[in-house]
A and B are shown apart, each in its own frame.
Chain A
Amino acid sequence: MLREKGFNTFVIVGGLTAWRKAGEPLESVPQNDLVKLPTFS
């Protein structure tokens, strides 16, 4: 869909797993982006 809309798009082979294995830099997911389930405890 992105390509249909004119965006130049690529897919990273192996995704995050391959990125991590290659030793490339990571960062923690920002708190604002975290969605948590309500809990009973």
Chain B
Amino acid sequence: MTDMVKLMAGHGYVLTFSLLFAEAIGLPFPAAIALVAAGAAVASHVLWGPSILLIAVAALLMGDTVQFWLGRYMGWLLLGFLCRVSINPETCILRSAESFYKRGKITLVIAKFIPGVNTMAAPLAGSMKMRFWQFLRLDFAGATLYATTYLTVGYLARDFLAAILRGFHAAGETMEAVVVTALVAYSVYRVVQYRKNRMYRVVPRVQVEELARRLASEDSSRVLIVDVRSHGYYDSGSSRIKNSIRIEPNNLEEEIKNLSKDKDIYLYCT
């Protein structure tokens, strides 16, 4: 606890701002823990409560504003990126948008407490054309509620936190072993995935010119061009290869029922 208090005394304001801003722009940083630590530092008279609250809210608002405008101008591209870890990115985007729309703008006020929604809320608001000042008002309420809650938890639980930190020191070696094991397991998993995915390299690749020649020949009736883009359809004015059809790559089991094995299938994305 003493180490943490010293750290907070030296860099508390900068550290809190940086961690909260980083988390608000979508990086995996522990903003809630930073706020709890800052709350404990306030209780220890190392930081001044109103200042740290102001800094926390400012950091969250700035990060969320960046996400809002990125969402406005990058739309589906950004949302697809944020949903990339989902099994079905398109479903992730659509469900998040529907949920956001149905629950109304109040979602922005509570979003920071909900993992996942936290990262999506600001870019969704931007993509869904929410007025900026309205967004700012709601986000200010959300940021203030979030920062106040965790600062208060840290303030009230200072002694409890000290006990936990002592426990962490005692369990340090065990934690190191757990972390090393997790890293090794992750590395093995990546290697297995890499070897598994190598089989996709055997799919023949054709140049545009070669396909264009075939389309111009009498053999063109045996050609089926398939668009497998995930997000390309969602921007108005999107175009695709003439006479191609779309297949939803995340719903392949169902989609292939409509395909004929008599045709050669040419897949493309962006």
The chain A residues found within 8 Å of chain B, CB to CB, are 1-3, 5-22, 24-29, 33-41
Contact = CB atoms under 8 A, between A and B. Distances in A.
- What is the interface of chain B mostly: helix, strand, loop, or mixed? mixed
Contacts of A24: 208, 212, 241-242
A26 B233 contact: no
A32 to B, nearest CB: 10
A17 B232 CA distance: 12
Contact of A29 (B105, B225, B240): B240
B252 A2 contact: yes
Nearest to B239: A26
Interface string B74-93: 01000000000000000001
Nearest to B212: A24
Contact of B242 (A17, A18, A22, A25): A25
Contacts of A28: 237-240
Contacts, number: 137
Contacts of A35: 94, 233-234
A25 B225 CA distance: 13
8 contacts: A3-B202, A10-B266, A16-B232, A16-B240, A24-B208, A27-B241, A27-B243, A40-B128
Given A11-B203, A34-B238, A35-B234, A19 B256 contact: no
A12 to B, nearest CB: 4
Given A16-B268, A16-B269, A29-B233, A10 B205 contact: yes
A40 B129 contact: yes
Closest 8 CB pairs of A and B: A25-B242, A41-B129, A12-B268, A38-B101, A39-B129, A26-B239, A29-B238, A15-B268
B240 A36 contact: no
